[in-house]
Amino acid sequence: MSPASTDGGGRAPVAEVGRTIVSEEQINARVAELGAQITEDFAGTRPLLVAVLRGAYIFLADLSRAIDLQVEIDFMAVSSYGNATTSSGVVRILKDLDEDLEGRHVIVVEDIIDSGLTLSYLRRNLANRGAASVDVCALLVREGRQKVDQDLRYVGFEIPPDFVVGYGLDVSGRYRNLSYIAEFVGGDGH
């Protein structure tokens, strides 16, 4: 186990967390840029932001406030990780949308894209429901891990293929509340 690090806010050390990958300041600046770009690209519309729970909830909250349009928000919960640190590749919808997608401009808000298999499934699923468009706004993309070619319109950061936590990302439910993104060095997540 590596030495403990602080949570970036001066609080007590956090075990199992390694080096900072993306700082709180970098996140805040990039979210503002993404919000401005979405505002410009979707001017005159009311896009539906679909957050993929649970990891994307903090990103969604910050991103929605950075968009200067009337937006609607809905949530989906899918599982492809369970309690592991690698995706199983099998996607299960645990909570479906409440909103009708017919004719809507949908922006899927994702915390991290790893293999891209889950995202590919979601995009097909949402497009088949009659959405006018389905775009993606991903906070993180792991370099070199995509098994599916993605047309990603909005990306926060490309990061190394390390397993990361913080800013909504977790391992076994822990570390979502960190204000930055850090490498997880604590083992298999149990």
- Paired with 169 in beta bridges are 166
- Paired with 184 in beta bridges are 17
Among residues 62, 111, 114, 170, which one is catalytic?
A: 114
Under 8 Å between Cβ of 166 and 182: yes
Distance (Å, whole) CA 18 – CA 164:
9
Asked if 100 is an active-site residue, the reply is no
Q: What is the DSSP letter of 163?
A: -
Distance (Å, whole) CA 15 – CA 30:
27
CB atoms within 10 A of CB 63: 24
**What are the φ/ψ torsions at residue 108 (nearest 5 degrees)?**
-80, 125
Under 8 Å between Cβ of 189 and 29: no
Which two tokens mark 165?
Answer: 């936590």
Which two tokens mark 84?
Answer: 């592991």
* Location of structure tokens 């679909």: 50
Indicate which residues carry an active-site annotation.
Answer: 114
